[in-house]
Structure 1
Amino acid sequence: MSDDTAGTIAGFDLTVQDANGVRDFYADVVGWKPEPLSMGDYDDYMMLAQDGNPVAGICHARSGNADLPPQWIVYVAVDDLPASLARVVEKGGEVVRQPTGPGPGGFALIKDPAGAVLALIQNSRTG
């Protein structure tokens, strides 16, 4: 989940109301080990594979994440988030959620012309 080369999948997150219950579900079903990630007054979770490598995130639907849909969201790295969002609209897609912030790690949710949701995230090489 750490490669953020443009065009590559940079990560997967699931944002839900009951992050602790869903965390335990995936730990039991697929064997992921949860690693707490402090969000201040609560923890989200980086889910680790058996070898200790991060494979996904499970997050609480709180604060800035409260409006995210309860589905697995794939994050694809881009070199220029504003330019990519402009192309989304030009090509018949929709920006569902505006960028969370400028620079590396800022992301936006889009829908492609078929209605599929994806997140575009500004990579750290060009942000």
Structure 2
Amino acid sequence: MAPPFVWFDNMTPTRQDTTDFLQEMFGWQPQDIGPMTFLTAEGADTPFAATCDMLKDIDGWVPYIEVDDLSAALARARRNGASVIAEDVRGPAGDASFIRDPGGSAMALWKRADGV
């Protein structure tokens, strides 16, 4: 099985400041697409992360974990003690539900859109 971590968002109230820092610090190239700014590593062809505005009190790095069935994964997360922050948020490449694990860390369960 491939590693399930497929994307990372840095959610922040100061998106441009964070984007500028990451570009200067790591050489990541930004591409503003409106609701978020994609980040591409120097020499790479595709982005691996984005900076975006905060979502319902989530700030900082949020990993996206790919799942085969978003509804089933969300139900399993609830059964295992996670709290749900936001469900079925549509993104450019699929849908995500944001949860907080019992220890308080936020993450996104993500289902790839058909054809992506």
Which TM bucket (shorter chain)?
0.7 to 0.9
The correspondence for 2:40, drawn from 27, 31, 48, is 48
Note the residue ranges of structure 1 that are not aligned, 5 or more in a row: none
Q: Helix, strand or coil for the counterpart of 1:69?
A: coil
Residue number in structure 2 paired with 1:31: 27
1:4-15 to 2 correspondence within 5 Å? 8-15=4-11
Whether 2:80 is the aligned partner of 1:88: answer: no
Say if 2:95 and 2:113, in contact at 8 Å, map to a contact too: no
User: Given the two structures, how large is their TM-score scaled by the length of structure 1?
Assistant: 0.75
Query: 1:85, CA displacement in angstroms?
Result: 0.8
- Show structure 1 runs of 4+ deviating over 6 A: none
1:8 Cα shift?
1.5
* Secondary structure at 2:48 match in 1: strand
**Which amino acid in structure 1 is aligned with residue 102 of structure 2?**
P
Q: Is the 8 A contact 2:58 2:106 kept in 1?
A: no
CA RMSD of aligned residues (A): 2.4
Count of residue pairs the alignment pairs up: 112
- Residue 121 of structure 1 deviates from its aligned partner by 0.8
Q: Indicate the percent of aligned positions where both proteins have the same amino acid.
A: 28
